[in-house]
């Protein structure tokens, strides 16, 4: 009896050992890789994930087929919990998730059942720069004007960047934005055209260029401030919120908020995937970002590419986990106050 138990145990373990000992090329050859997307089909994150999914398989050793599986819910928290806890840890499942999901355990440990540092970050397709725009007929013409006079800004609701951005500008810059909530994404544009609102804040620069190129060409709007870790090259004459604050506490809070925009469309693999497969997936991601066919498709569909490596994403996450607790609580209090 003991011998049969030992033998059956060895037979159970042997395939696992054999699989983990396979080279990445041998493991992935003829295999399907599932790319889990934490958003519904058609969302911005999904569009980028599908773009990557159509090309990354050519760059993974063994050239596996890549299949998309949408798993929306709680800004990709559901998908990330699955990837962190129940997904195969062999490299056959990867994910595309929300840019701030890595720090969710710092503010929501009851629901975020993972450590962002333990996830294997593969890279990010895009650095996000959020902007605040004023309609061309608004009395306020600059962010300094908004410190002196009330500016009516449209927002989608209490959650999301369209509401959070003006709250942060009011808190850190002393602006006087009056937030009118309840608009849908397209309705926020229409509200400015109809004169119901004067501004919209918290939209990505890339998203604005793709959705309203005519407004930019016709100078229907003015970009008055940008919100990111660094100025966007195309917005060199627009002030960055980080350059407009002077005290250390405010600067630390804003850096905690905007550091994740450096990894604006991140991809990951679960924890404990064999190191050689993580290395192969990271290289495949990097190679995809340089692939002329990939870049040509992105250009044709107006999808901006400004990629960073998995190693750089990992560094950002590690640094975010060193944020003092007082700073995190200060930021979360502002977010809840919306």
Delimit the domains of the chain by residue range: 28-126+264-337, 130-259
Which tokens go with 80?
């990330």
CATH superfamily of 28-126+264-337: Bordetella uptake gene, domain 1 (3.40.190.150)
Stretch 135-159: mean pLDDT:
92
- Give the separation between CA 9 and CA 1, rounded to whole angstroms: 12
Stretch 17-32: mean pLDDT:
84
Please give the pLDDT value at position 220: 97
CATH class of 130-259: alpha beta
For residue 208, give the nearest of 304, 142, 138 by alpha carbon: 304
- Provide the β-strand partners of residue 225: 132
Q: Does the pLDDT of residue 173 top 70, yes or no?
A: yes
Stretch 153-161: mean pLDDT:
77
- Over residues 193-224, the pLDDT tens digits come to 999 999 999 998 988 888 888 999 999 999 99
Give the side-chain half-sphere CA count within 13 A for 186: 0
- Residue found by looking up tokens 């969302």 in the block: 43
Fold match, 28-126+264-337 / 130-259: yes
Are the CB atoms for 104 and 77 separated by under 8 Å? yes
Q: Is the pTM of this model over 0.85?
A: no
């Amino acid at each position: 009896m003991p011998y049969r138990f030992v033998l059956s145990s060895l037979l159970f373990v042997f395939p696992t050992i054999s699989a983990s000992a396979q080279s990445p090329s041998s493991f992935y050859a003829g295999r399907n890789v599932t790319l889990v997307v934490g958003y519904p089909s058609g969302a911005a994150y999904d569009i980028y994930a599908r773009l990557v999914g159509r090309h990354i398989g050519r760059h993974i050793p063994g050239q596996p087929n890549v299949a998309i599986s949408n798993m929306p819910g709680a800004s990709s928290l559901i998908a990330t919990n699955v990837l962190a806890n129940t997904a195969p840890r062999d490299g056959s499942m990867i994910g595309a998730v929300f840019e701030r999901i890595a720090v969710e355990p710092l503010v929501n440990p009851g629901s975020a059942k993972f450590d962002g540092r333990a996830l294997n970050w593969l890279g990010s397709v895009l650095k996000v720069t959020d902007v605040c725009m004023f309609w061309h007929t608004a009395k306020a013409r600059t962010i300094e004007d908004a410190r002196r006079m009330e500016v009516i800004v449209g927002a989608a609701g209490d959650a999301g960047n369209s509401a959070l951005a003006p709250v942060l500008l009011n808190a850190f810059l002393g602006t006087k934005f009056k937030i009118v909530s309840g608009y849908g994404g397209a309705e926020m544009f229409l509200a400015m055209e109809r004169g119901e609102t004067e501004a919209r804040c918290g939209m990505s620069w890339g998203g604005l260029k793709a959705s309203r190129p005519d407004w930019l060409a016709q100078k229907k709007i003015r970009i008055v401030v940008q919100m990111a870790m660094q100025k966007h090259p195309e917005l060199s004459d627009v002030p960055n919120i980080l350059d407009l604050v002077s005290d250390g506490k405010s600067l630390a809070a804003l850096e905690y908020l905007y550091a994740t925009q450096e990894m604006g469309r991140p991809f990951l693999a679960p924890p404990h995937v064999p190191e050689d497969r993580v290395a192969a997936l990271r290289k495949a991601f990097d190679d995809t970002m340089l692939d002329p066919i990939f870049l040509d498709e992105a250009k044709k569909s107006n999808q901006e590419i400004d990629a960073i490596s998995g190693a750089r994403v990992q560094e950002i996450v590690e640094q975010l986990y060193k944020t003092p607790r007082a700073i995190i609580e200060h930021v979360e209090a502002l977010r809840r106050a919306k």
